[in-house]
Amino acid sequence: MMAYKNLFYFKFVNDEDKQRVIDHEPLFLLGRIFVVRPWTPSIDKYRNGIKALPIWIRVDLPKHLWTKNGIDFISSIIGEPIYMDDATARRTRISYARICVVVDIEFKFPSFIPIKIGEGDIVDIGLDYEWVPDLCTSCKIFGHSNSKCIKNKEVSARNPNHTTTDG
């Protein structure tokens, strides 16, 4: 493991271990969030705060959308699709599809999304988030709430009448 400016680089002995860690992200260690991603040349963009996060979502998927194209379609409405869990891919659990998507700072975490099916039928697709991250609306990054924001504490120190609320 190497660390550089809030990024940690891990080298796994085998691909199975690496995939196991990625499949269970985000990780929490000592109260801190760790977003684990395969290395890419664009990894440097994560140094200045987390503006997008991978999250696991349980999707109440209609049976006629239980295809790779259907799951990709729903995933892309929510965010940037990354992958689905093994039970979803193999269709061994059909009560819900479990997908991992990257959501950005503007995502509102709705409990459902309306989808137009066929000739105009609207179906509400239920969404259940396995974890909803803290979001700071002052910094515009994931990882802490407004009440724990250093920027807000600096403003409060200068202006004792200023208050913050979690958003």
Cβ of 133: how many Cβ atoms within 10 Å?
20
- Between 31 and 70, residue with greater pLDDT: 70
The average pLDDT across 130-148 equals 77
Mean pLDDT of the chain: 79
The average pLDDT across 87-113 equals 91
Quick one: pLDDT at residue 98?
A: 94
pLDDT digits (tens, 9 = 90+) for 35-72: 777 777 766 655 556 677 888 999 999 988 899 999 99
The average pLDDT across 13-28 equals 79
The average pLDDT across 114-137 equals 87
Nearest Cα to 138, choosing from 150, 120, 130, 129? Answer: 150
CA distance 149 to 135: 10
161 pLDDT band (50/70/90 cuts)?
A: low
Highest-scoring range by mean pLDDT, 48-57, 98-107, 141-150: 98-107
Contact 146, 167 (CB under 8 A): yes
Contact 101, 55 (CB under 8 A): yes
Q: Mean pLDDT check: name the lowest of 25-34, 100-109, 142-151.
A: 25-34
- The DSSP result for 14-61, as a single string, is SHHHHHHHHHTPSEEETTEEE------GGGGGGTT-BSEEEEEEEE--
First to last CA, the chain: 35
Quick one: pLDDT at residue 115?
A: 92
Quick one: pLDDT at residue 76?
A: 94
Quick one: pLDDT at residue 109?
A: 93
Contact 35, 131 (CB under 8 A): no
5 pLDDT band (50/70/90 cuts)?
A: low
Q: Is the pLDDT of residue 107 over 60?
A: yes
The average pLDDT across 140-165 equals 64
